[in-house]
Structure 1
């Protein structure tokens, strides 16, 4: 798989998993999925500027804490500590993760707009190659086709998530796309 496709897959996973992984166990946290963000007001330009400034500090903190998480396995403690760290930066932790989520979804959506048709064509070609492969059993072909369908489903899910990015947020994301990609370490 080419690097831009691996990156795209990571972004999709990040956009889907961030709210759950980073917030689910935070005390007083009422959100259970990315769809629950729909009730939050759109982020502003000043929030985006603050996010661009603070995201590297959070990811640096998370990398060091992630090593401890891997050793302890206590995700509840880690998410409480993440909320405390983000609050120490002057954020309401739910708002910070909301802005992160919306940026990830927005950037992923923009990448899908750019790369989606090519990826869909490659998926169609892969289906043809699987079906024409004489070395695979029917069972192996079905397994491969199921994996392709799961990829397709992930892309469809990303399109659904994109609907939760408010137009004014998407405009801000587009206007600062290069900065968001740089800060979130997403290659173009």
Structure 2
């Protein structure tokens, strides 16, 4: 699958080609390298958010310092849902909430939010590479006084940071 997106297979490359490329790991196994990690990450995230080829529970992590992309598909990883933020605003809109309120009539539910790329499941490893706003108010703060302006996700509710047991 990854070879379709310009990944070079580890068995087919010279050792000298590895030095200036990003390593690709799948479930801990080194499978290849890629020359444009930013483009690959964008493609993988887009495919996961569309749930087209990649299911929502797959974890995709880019470690810039170590020049690695790690993909985890194994079972048993703890994942939690987060709202997706792009360009400083939530992808969740009022129409999504209104559709949820009327779900008895239109069969609109949680899975539609996930498959339409509004909500994303993030595991603990991927959470380390994201910037999560505690509430939508954090996104609305004046840029001059904001703690961060590069949020990637937002908590569904501030209490969700404590987990299911809270």
TM-score (norm 2): 0.28
Per residue, is there more strand in 1 or in 2?
A: 2
Per residue, is there more helix in 1 or in 2?
A: 1
Larger RCO (alpha carbons 8 Å, 6+ apart) = 1
TM-score (norm 1): 0.25
